[in-house]
Amino acid sequence: MNSSRSILFVCTGNVFRSLSAEQSFKKYLSDNEISGWTVGSAGTLAVPQEIDPKVRATLSEVGINDVRHEQRRLTKDLLDQYDIVIGMAEDHIDFMRSEFNYKYGILFNDLAIGEKTSVRDMDEVPDYATNRPAAEAKIERTVQDIVGKTPAVFKNASERFYLFENLASGKTTHRNGYPFIMLHETPHSAAFMSIDIPGNEDGHVLVIPKKRYPDLAMIPDETLGDMLVSIKKVGDAISVDHGGYNVLLNNGLDAGQYIIHTHFHIIPRREGDGITIEGWQRSEISRDDFIQLNEKLKRKIQEVK
């Protein structure tokens, strides 16, 4: 991709939901004179079929005319070309994980309204194949819903994928008008204060690579070394008047990663501060099971290149 930002919408056939999302996103960019984006769509199956006339008509009603579209089937190479990949439904997220081991697909509704729910296909109308009025009502409702949510998708996708890179490069400030203040900087890393500070503490520092890497495994060793130097330096400063600090990494959506730009949290700690880090429940495990778990993980570690 030649552009600095890119987004791919994924559904099943690539003639309805992902097509509408792609066209709506392009219109939003055009209407707001926003450049520098590549926008595409694809289908997990993409069986050759025509775009339903009602899809075209509904898009036309919101000002999206002359839709020129070629179906594309989702591939690993295609996934690798885009920064942001949005699944229109849960089965698309599951498909990307099972078929391509792709872990950063995000649901359209999750980005739009913070709900992990699907934009349903035509199967939401059981008799859509024989009940044309019901099918057209479903199409119109879905397309208009996608179009209505597009501004929020743009805003939240921009924040979750590009905020930290923008902060480190000086292109933007924190949310809510808070200033970005560089606490420590190396050639490849930046440390700054998060605006999400625990109630009983006086800070919460983030250490990031200046370039966006979604996953820890993607970070070059030199950059990771810079980050560790920054963590140590900030930690040493915190330790001057604190009893300790936690260093946390949420790596992956399932681990609670919200901003898709690898970052370490450094949280100052004092006894009795009320901050809970180790919140999981312990389970009893036999000695033999413990050994087997170790052997399994050791094999996986040895397989990692």
Q: Which residues are part of the catalytic machinery?
A: 263
193 within 8 A of 203, measured Cβ to Cβ: yes
128 within 8 A of 134, measured Cβ to Cβ: yes
For 116, counting Cβ atoms within 10 Å of its Cβ (0-12 exposed, 13-18 middle, 19+ buried), the class is exposed
- Helix 53-61 vs helix 132-169: angle between axes, to the nearest 10 degrees? 50
42 within 8 A of 72, measured Cβ to Cβ: yes
Tell me how far apart the alpha carbons of residues 65 and 72 are, in angstroms, rounded to a whole number: 20
Residue at 200: amino acid letter: N
User: How far apart, in Å, are the Cα atoms of 176 and each of 192, 195, 197, 265?
Assistant: 16, 9, 14, 21
Place of tokens 């625990």: 198
Tell me how far apart the alpha carbons of residues 5 and 16 are, in angstroms, rounded to a whole number: 24
For 214, counting Cβ atoms within 10 Å of its Cβ (0-12 exposed, 13-18 middle, 19+ buried), the class is buried
96 within 8 A of 87, measured Cβ to Cβ: yes
Tell me how far apart the alpha carbons of residues 46 and 49 are, in angstroms, rounded to a whole number: 8
Tell me how far apart the alpha carbons of residues 175 and 180 are, in angstroms, rounded to a whole number: 9
Element (H, E) at 194: none
Tell me how far apart the alpha carbons of residues 295 and 82 are, in angstroms, rounded to a whole number: 36
